[in-house]
Amino acid sequence: MFRILGFLIILGGAIAAQTPASHPLVIPPAAQVSDRFDATAATNAYLALVPAEQRRRTDAYFEGGYWLILWDFLYGAAVSLALISTGLSARMRALAERLTRLRPLQTMVYWTQYFLFASIATFPLTVYEGFFREHQYGLSNQDFASWMGDQTKELLLGLVFGALAVAALFGIVRRLPRTWHLWGAALSIVFLMIGALIGPVFIAPLFNQYTVLKDQRVRDPILRMARANGIPVTEVYEFNASKQSKRVSANVSGFLGTTRISLNDNLLNRCSPQAIEAVMGHEMGHFVMNHIYKGILFSMVTFAILFALLRRSLDWSLGRWGMLWKIRGVADVAVLPLAVFLISLISLALTPIDNSFTRTQEFEADMFGLNAARQPDGEAEADLLLGEYRKLDPGPIEEWSFFDHPSGRTRIFAAMRWKAENLR
C-alpha cells in the first residue's frame, strides 16, 4: 500500500548463456492426461515433487517472515519514539532552521538528518533480514560488498526522492491546515504514479542490466501472445537477477508509454519453455486487466483512510504530549517520526486488506495467463519454483492474513482444474 519509494534490485553482471531448451517440462504421472484425470490428485502429485526437507526449510523461512513483520514494526516504532521522547527530533529541526530560512530547505535538511539516523539505527536488523537470513536459507547469491553497494544506492535514492516528497507534503500541511489530509493523500497518489511511470526506464536499470532478449525460441512466442492480447510492445527484455538470487520472476511494468515486458535470467535458465510462457501470460494479464490503474484506484481509497486516521491520531497525540516533545504542531517538521510511527501502525492494521486486494489481482492474472498461454503444467512448474521462498500449502486464515499472492497449492489446483475442464 504505502510503497512510494518502489522496489529496487541489483546492478550489473552478465546474462548466463544457458538456454531454456535444456529444461524440459516434467509432468508427474498423476497429472498426465488420462480418462481418470483428477485436479486434486494432480495437484497433490505436483506438490509431492518437492522434497520434505525443502518444504520444511521453505515453511520455516516464510513463517519467520510473519514474525519479522512484527519485529520490523516494533524496531521502527522504538526508533521513532526515541527521536521524539528524547527531544532529538526537535533539536534536528532547530539545526535545520539555523542553516536556512527557507521552509522547504529546512524540511529537506531535517529529512536528511532523520533518514540517516533511522537508516543507521535500523541497520543491524536490515543486515540480518537482507543479507544473513537470505544466505542462511540459500536464497542469496550476493557477497557482502555487492549487497552493501545495493543498500548504498537505495540510501541515496531515499535521500533524494524522500526529501522532495516530504518537502511537498509539509508544504501542503502549512498551506492547507484544514484539508491537508485530503491533499496529502492526493499528492501521495501522484508520487505513486510517477514511480510506476519512471521506475522501469530510469530506476530499475540502476540496479540491473537490462538487455533485449535475443533468443527467438523464447522471444517470439511471448511477442505473439502480447500482440494477440493487445499489449503495445515490440521487444522483450531480460535482466540479470542471478547476481542477486536464484528467484524466478518476470513483469509487465510501466504505463503511459513506458510499458515493458521483462523477465529475469533465472526464469530463462531454470524453467521449461512452457513455464516461461505461463509466467509471461500471467504478467500480461496484469496489463490487459488494467491492474495498474485498479491498483491506483485502490490506493486512492487506502491513502484517504490512512491520511484521515493520521490526522486524527496526530491531533490527539500532539494535544497530549506536544509540549513535552517540543513539537509546535502538525506543520512542524519535527513531528515526522511520530507521523512515521502512526503510518506504520495503521498500515500494519490494514495489511490483511492490502494483501487480499493484491492476492485477488494475482489470481485474476493466473486465470488470464492460463487462457492466454494454455500451459497449465508450465504454470505448476513455475509455482513450485516460487515455492522455494513461499510456503506452498498454508491454512486458509494464514493465506488470507499473510499472503499477497495465492499459495502454491491454490495456484496449482487452479491450473489443474483448468486442465481438467479443457480435457473435457
pLDDT at 13 exceeding the cut of 70: no
Q: Quick one: which of 334, 349, 288, 393 has its CA closest to 40?
A: 393
d(CA 267, CA 254): 20
β-pairing verdict for 260-264 and 236-239: parallel
- In the block, cell 531454456 appears at 20
- In the block, cell 504478467 appears at 283
How much of the chain, in percent, has pLDDT values that exceed 90? Answer: 81
The x, y and z cell numbers of residue 127, run together, are 543486515
pLDDT of residue 15: 30
Pair 406, 359: CB distance under 8 Å: yes
* pLDDT, tens digit (0-9, with 9 covering 90-100), for 218-227: 899 999 999 9
pLDDT of residue 399: 95
pLDDT of residue 202: 86
pLDDT at 8 exceeding the cut of 80: no
Residue 248 CB: number of other CB atoms within 10 A?
23
d(CA 8, CA 200): 10
* pLDDT, tens digit (0-9, with 9 covering 90-100), for 65-94: 999 999 999 999 999 999 999 999 999 999
pLDDT at 201 exceeding the cut of 60: yes
pLDDT of residue 86: 95
Residue 221 carries which side chain, given as an amino acid letter? P
pLDDT at 403 exceeding the cut of 50: yes
* pLDDT, tens digit (0-9, with 9 covering 90-100), for 202-248: 888 899 899 999 888 889 999 999 999 988 778 888 999 999 998 99
Q: Quick one: which of 190, 231, 235 has its CA closest to 210?
A: 235
* pLDDT, tens digit (0-9, with 9 covering 90-100), for 338-377: 999 999 999 999 999 999 999 999 999 999 999 999 999 9
Q: Return the axis-axis angle of helices 216-228 and 336-373, rounded to nearest 10°.
A: 100
pLDDT at 2 exceeding the cut of 50: no
Lowest mean pLDDT among 16-30, 40-54, 317-331, 335-349: 16-30
Dihedral, CA atoms, 136, 142, 148, 154, nearest 10 degrees? -100
d(CA 4, CA 9): 15
Residue 322 carries which side chain, given as an amino acid letter? G
d(CA 324, CA 317): 11
pLDDT of residue 22: 56
Average pLDDT over the chain, rounded to an integer: 90
pLDDT at 20 exceeding the cut of 60: no
- Average pLDDT of the residues in 163-175: 97
DSSP state of 260: E
Q: Is residue 262 very low, low, confident or very high in pLDDT (cuts 50, 70, 90)?
A: confident
* pLDDT, tens digit (0-9, with 9 covering 90-100), for 124-134: 999 999 999 99
Q: Quick one: which of 45, 50, 21 has its CA closest to 34?
A: 45
Q: In the chain, what are the domain boundaries?
A: 39-423
d(CA 295, CA 359): 12
Phi, psi of 245 (to 5 degrees): -160, -175
pLDDT at 16 exceeding the cut of 70: no
pLDDT of residue 39: 96
β-pairing verdict for 210-212 and 236-239: antiparallel
- Global pTM reads 0.88
